[in-house]
Amino acid sequence: MRSARRTRNLTPAADSDDAACTWTTERILALGATTDLATAAAILGISRSAAYKLAARDAFPVPLFRAGAYYRVPTAPIRRKLHLESPTVSTDGDTGGAGADEDDGYSGGARDTTGCSPPP
C-alpha cells in the first residue's frame, strides 16, 4: 500500500536567473548612493528575513537608516565591508551642478539598473 504522504523532489529546478543575479563588483558600484535592505542583504549573503530581524535589533552589519516605512542602506559602507575600490570622481567638465550626476541627482535607490532585482 502506498503512503498517503506526498514526496517532494529535493533537487532545485535549474533557474537561469540565478546566474544573472550574481553580485559583481561592477553591479555593486552601479547601485548609487543608497539601496534597499533586501538588496544590501543579497549582496552581503544574508537572507531577507534575517536582514529585517537584524535591522529591527540595530544589528545589521553595515549602518542603515529608516526612511518612513523603509530601510535605506548607504552603499559606501557595503563597499568598505567588501573591500571594494570606490570609483574615482572626475572633476573634468564639472558644470557646478553641486554634485548632480547625469541622472539629475538620482541616487538609484528606487530602480535597479543592474538587471536583477530582489523578489518582492
- pLDDT single digits (tens) 46-79: 999 999 999 999 999 999 999 898 999 999 999 9
The C-alpha cell at 5 is 504522504
The C-alpha cell at 87 is 570609483
Q: Report the b/e string of 18-52 with b at 16+ CB within 10 A.
A: eeebebeeebbeebbebbbbbbbbbbbebeeeebb
Task: For residue 21, give the amino acid letter.
Answer: C
Task: For residue 1, give the amino acid letter.
Answer: M
Higher pLDDT, 103 or 80: 80
Task: For residue 10, give the amino acid letter.
Answer: L
Residues 49 and 41: beta-carbon distance below 8 Å: no
pLDDT higher than 90, residue 102? no
How many Cβ atoms are within 10 Å of 110's Cβ, its own excluded? Answer: 11
Q: How far is residue 71's CA from residue 58's CA, in Å, rounded to a whole number? A: 11
Radius of gyration for the chain, computed over Cα atoms and rounded to the nearest angstrom: 19
pLDDT at 117: 54
For 8-12, 40-44, 86-90, 109-113, which range has the lowest pLDDT when averaged over its residues? 109-113
